[in-house]
Amino acid sequence: MTHLSVNLNKIGLLRNSRGRDYPNLIAMAERTLELGAFGITIHPRPDQRHATYQDAYDLKVLLKRFPGAELNVEGFPDAQFLDVVLDVEPDQCTLVPDDPNQLTSDHGWNIARDQDALRPVIAKLKAKGIRVVLFMDPEPENMALAKDIGADRVELYTEAYANAFGKAGFEQVLETYQQAAQAALDAGLDVNAGHDLDLNNVQALCEQGRIMEVSIGHALTVEALEQGWNNVVKAYLAKLA
């Protein structure tokens, strides 16, 4: 079985677009955990347009009511992000090589280049008992170095997988991901995966048993809208009849 951590960034984005607390991100997290999800993921960026740093503190309080459930905070390890994460002490911190103004995450770490910066960051997080995950492209040859610099897990960046799903050449792309996951396992790392996973494509990635956790937000939010839309439009029409 693969754990599901629901990314609530898009709930934060919707909330922030109207300047009041609706939808309430913590209430959505509570619902999600009551439904049996393993965890909640947020990815606060420097402009806090999605989840905010305060959300990390509030989620930490909520998660205390759900023993065994996990909080995963993702992001680029700048000074502010690290201060918050070291203070909140989530179960897991996923380090992502985002630029400050990035639209969304679109690549994994170049560990050979960035290892000197990453080593002390990883050590600080682990000293607080936080599991450290590195966001990685599916490159089997880089997994041993991820282990060497102290990571506990990698998260495979799955946009290429999602783009290939259902198209010619998909089997080859899947094979690349399975090889990267196996290389990570062989190096002593556990394996997470995420980005653009959805109800159609998630099973094929996870069914060989190598993926411990997926974090899903964008498609899950869209799917929730699509699957709930008809009922809500009908409910409004009934009110107005």
Ligand X SMILES: CC(=O)[C@@H](O)[C@H](O)COP(=O)(O)O
Ligand Y SMILES: NCC(=O)COP(=O)(O)O
Nearest distance from residue 67's CB to ligand X, in Å?
25
Nearest distance from residue 103's CB to ligand X, in Å?
7
135 forms bridges with which residues in the sheet? 155
Rounded Cα distance between 42 and 86, Å, is 15
**Residue 20 φ/ψ region, left for φ over 0, alpha for ψ in the -120 to 50 degree band, beta for the rest:** beta
195 is an active site residue: yes
Nearest distance from residue 196's CB to ligand X, in Å?
8
| Number of neighbouring beta carbons within 10 Å of residue 50 | 23
Half-sphere exposure of residue 214: CA atoms within 13 angstroms, side-chain side: 26
Residues 180-239 that bind ligand X (CB under 6 A): 194-195, 217-218
43 is an active site residue: yes
- The site string for ligand Y over 131-170 (x = CB under 6 A, - otherwise) reads ------------------------x---------------
Check binding of 51 to ligand Y (CB under 6 A): no
Rounded Cα distance between 236 and 233, Å, is 5
Report which DSSP code applies to 167: S
Residue with nearest beta carbon to ligand X: 104
- The site string for ligand Y over 63-102 (x = CB under 6 A, - otherwise) reads -----------x----------------------------
CA distances from 201 to 57, 113, 129, 184, 197 (A): 32, 32, 33, 22, 6
Q: Is-contact 95 77, C-beta < 8 A?
A: yes
Q: ∠136-116-210 over CA atoms, to 5°?
A: 25
Among candidate residues 43, 70, 155, 213, the one labeled active-site is 43
Check binding of 50 to ligand X (CB under 6 A): yes
Tokens 């990390």 — which residue?
56
Identify what 142 binds: ligand Y, ligand X, none; CB under 5 to 8 Å per kind. none
Cβ closer to ligand X: 9 or 143? 9
Determine what percent of the chain falls in helix, strand and coil, rounding each to the nearest 5. Answer: 50, 15, 35
Candidates 38, 76, 109, 135: give the one binding ligand X (CB under 6 A): 135
74 is an active site residue: yes
Query: Residues annotated as binding site for 1-deoxy-D-xylulose 5-phosphate?
Result: 45, 50, 104
- Site residues, ligand X (CB under 6 A): 7, 9, 43, 50, 74, 96, 104-105, 135, 194-195, 217-218
- Site residues, ligand Y (CB under 6 A): 7, 41, 74, 155, 194-197, 215-219
